[in-house]
Amino acid sequence: MEEFVPYLGGEVVCAEYGEAGSGKLADNVKKSLEERNAVILANHGSLYCGSHLEGAYIVLQYLERGSRIYYLAKLIKEPYLLPEDVIDYEMDIFDLFKDSKKN
């Protein structure tokens, strides 16, 4: 999904497990989130970020849609992943989005 990278900030990773509400979970989320807008929390669900509530909701929609597409594709065969040069280009778009929110 080409629009995945500019909105989510690249590959979404799964943070290591930490007990709900614990400092360990918060540290694991921070480490896994880095500059991305979404992270999956092991045994908890997922976390979405945005410059406002609507932005976080858009990130949620992209991750849910991308996850569904990947899962269904995986049932048929190994999904085709985007070429590295496309990902690099889209990360540039993500950086532009991110920088525009700072102003």
What was the pLDDT predicted at 102? Answer: 62
Say what the pTM is: 0.77
Q: Structural domain boundaries of the chain?
A: 4-95
CATH topology for the 4-95 domain? L-fuculose-1-phosphate Aldolase (3.40.225)
Kind and range of the H or E run holding 41: strand 38-41
What was the pLDDT predicted at 30? Answer: 95
Non-local (6+) Cβ contacts of 66 within 8 A are: 1, 4, 8
What was the pLDDT predicted at 7? Answer: 85
For residue range 40-97, what is the model confidence (pLDDT) as tens digits?
999 999 999 988 999 999 999 999 998 999 999 999 999 888 888 888 888 788 888 7
What's the CA gap between 58 and 6, in Å, rounded? 12
Amino acid in position 56: A
What was the pLDDT predicted at 6? Answer: 84
What was the pLDDT predicted at 103? Answer: 56
Amino acid in position 59: V
